[in-house]
Amino acid sequence: SQKIEQNSEALNIQEGKTATLTCNYTNYSPAYLQWYRQDPGRGPVFLLLIRENEKEKRKERLKVTFDTTLKQSLFHITASQPADSATYLCALENQAGTALIFGKGTTLSVSS
Amino acid sequence: NAGVMQNPRHLVRRRGQEARLRCSPMKGHSHVYWYRQLPEEGLKFMVYLQKENIIDESGMPKERFSAEFPKEGPSILRIQQVVRGDSAAYFCASSPPAPSGGVSGQFFGPGTRLTVL
């Protein structure tokens, strides 16, 4: 079955630095990978989707890469701000294409 | 355009009672998904429904749990004879007519926090 691992549970960085979060997966290769943000007590919010044939995707200060050979996605937040502090989840579609499988998330804390 | 709505936001039940969780998807969305999130664990898929059909219930326990998405009205996740281990946050998500959200992702509600005493 599909497995997703996010490399660390917590990441602490200083304001202005670039945060880099890692998502690794095993078994089959998905057609695309998604990233979500979750704040305490709230539901996840969709941020970005990257397809298997896209090496990189950008949205404002966010950048996602997708390496299907390494079976890895990197999520970058440049010029990080305290407001970026949240838990970030990566998600893949299951093999049947009927559901998302989520990683446990990485909790990012940006200090000023 | 209102987002995904879930109610109640908080639900307290005693062991053995029934819990009913409701979810109204975003307007125009015909796909509904239910997830459960336990403390210190990730979101776990439970069930995927379209109007009047269960498409995939592979993540839902076989006993005590059921889900529906009727032609009219919200989707309902029902837990009978609740036990303490059912205490969790239950999230509903919806997407446009594309499985797993396709290119637009899934839109999540605020969740229902179930506490079983």
* Phi, psi angles (nearest 5°) of residue B47: -155, 150
> What mean pLDDT is predicted for residues B14-21?
98
Q: What is the rounded distance in angstroms from the CA atom of residue B63 to the CA atom of residue A98?
A: 21
> What mean pLDDT is predicted for residues B76-83?
98
AA identity, residue A56: E
> What mean pLDDT is predicted for residues A13-20?
96
The pLDDT assigned to B103 comes to 62
Give the chain A residue nearest B92 (alpha carbons). Answer: A43
What share of chain A in percent tops pLDDT 70? 99
Nearest-10 Cα torsion for A14, A8, B113, A34: 90
Q: How far is A50 from chain B (nearest CA, A)?
A: 9
Q: Which DSSP symbol is given to B103?
A: G
Whether A40 contacts chain B with CB within 8 A: no
Q: What is the rounded distance in angstroms from the CA atom of residue B57 to the CA atom of residue B35?
A: 11
The closest alpha carbon to A34, from A52, A20, A19, A18, belongs to A52
Q: How far is A72 from chain B (nearest CA, A)?
A: 18
CB contact under 8 A, B33 and A97: no
The pLDDT assigned to B96 comes to 83
The closest alpha carbon to A79, from A40, A105, A112, belongs to A112
Residues 6+ apart with CB under 8 A from B61: none
- Residue B5 CB neighbour total at 10 angstroms: 15
pLDDT tens across A48-102, in order? Answer: 999 888 889 999 999 999 998 999 999 999 999 999 999 999 999 888 888 899 9
Q: Which of A100, A102, A107 to mutate to test the interface with B (most CBs of B within 10 A)?
A: A100
pLDDT grade, residue A3 (50/70/90)? Answer: confident
Residue recorded with tokens 């200090």: A111
- Exposure string of A64-87, with b = 16+ CB inside 10 Å and e = fewer, is bbbeeeebbbbbbbeebeeebbbb
* Burial degree of B16 (CB within 10 A; 0-12, 13-18, 19+): exposed
The rounded mean pLDDT for chain A is 92
The pLDDT assigned to B1 comes to 56
In this predicted structure, which of A32-36, B32-36, B100-104, B107-111 has the lowest mean pLDDT?
Answer: B100-104
- The alpha carbons of chain A give a radius of gyration, in whole angstroms, of 13
In this predicted structure, which of A7-11, A51-55, B51-55, B71-75 has the lowest mean pLDDT?
Answer: A7-11
Task: Give Cα separations from A50 to A60, A92, B90 (angstroms).
Answer: 15, 10, 27
The pLDDT assigned to A11 comes to 93
Q: How many CB pairs under 8 A join A and B?
A: 65
CB contact under 8 A, B48 and A94: no
Q: Which DSSP symbol is given to A29?
A: P
The pLDDT assigned to B101 comes to 55
